[in-house]
Amino acid sequence: MSFLASFPGKTAIYVDIPAPSTKIILAGDQASRTSNPPSTCSSKTAYKSQSRTRHRALITDHGSAVTGSVQANLQLIHLINEIRGTKKDPEKAARRQRVEALLNRQEFSGKNRTFHLTSLANTLLLEPGLRIDLDLYALFCLTIPLNQLLLALTSLALDNNDWTNRAKIDCNAKRELDVRAHFSKTIVEADSEQLSKAPYLVTTIQVFVLHPSFQPNNMPLVILDPAVRDRPAPAAASHWKLYFSDIENTGGLVDSEGNALSLPWQISRTDDEQLSLFALIVNSYSKLRHSF
């Protein structure tokens, strides 16, 4: 079952997520970068294309999606690559239009909402170092808890089946996400609190470590307690906690007592700006595919 269900009559679909352009080679406990990818556009062009969305994310999101830091150099990442230079290149503009049409046909932003590659629904904030670890080296990926993923898959199976039946009549039919109608007594193992929410709504994020080079030598990652991230008062030193990679057991990050990190997705985004679960899954899949 795929979050990117194939179109009726099509053999494959294309979403613009290239393989990481730089490989990691372990040398003892250190990682060596084998190449540096060429820049796709000037820093000035990149800044202009992202500044408005980044400014909005700085207002709506409570800092870095992982650490909760609100440092000034937070960077915007696109879960599905933004296609830049569309104003000067008709071919790129047409390509972007095709990709967005494909994703909107699958309701990537939810029921009856428009998805754009440059929209807030396709983005989140990270520190520069974490952005490089995610985007360039695929040392980790971001996902949702297993119980929430299973709930989404259950609903998606019904939505895709409905879509397939309608597409037999209308080849241009799009997927329709009926997020409330699919809750039933058959989903008895799902969390009761989650059952009251839409199955495609991102409410919790987890870090999945893909490579030992992420926080090597047992180096901790300092993370702000999610419970205090939305408070207006500055965080106290005691609100920051050390987390370590735990690839062998949980596959994610744990504190000194072995408790796994779970990050409630606490934001102030409007309904149209909510993080796209499908974009998050596509991004995670691209990292997993090139890591194993």
Domain boundaries, the chain: 24-289
Q: What is the mean pLDDT of residues 257-265?
A: 92
Residue 110: per-residue pLDDT: 85
Q: Give 128-180 pLDDT, tens digit per residue.
A: 999 999 999 999 999 999 999 999 999 999 999 999 999 999 988 888 886 45
Distance (Å, rounded) from C-alpha 194 to C-alpha 223?
25
Q: Give 75-98 pLDDT, tens digit per residue.
A: 999 999 988 888 889 999 999 999
In this prediction the pTM is 0.78
Residue 48: per-residue pLDDT: 53
Confidence band of 292 (pLDDT split at 50, 70, 90):
low
Cβ-contact 241, 225 below 8 angstroms = yes
Q: Give 179-222 pLDDT, tens digit per residue.
A: 455 444 444 444 455 444 578 999 999 999 999 999 998 899 99
Residue 103 has pLDDT above 80, yes or no: yes
Identify the residue whose tokens are 């990709």. 99
Q: What is the DSSP string of 33-97?
A: E---PPPSS-HHHHHHHHHHHHHHHHHHB-S-TTT----TT-EEEESS-----TTT-HHHHHHHH
* Arithmetic mean of pLDDT over the chain: 80
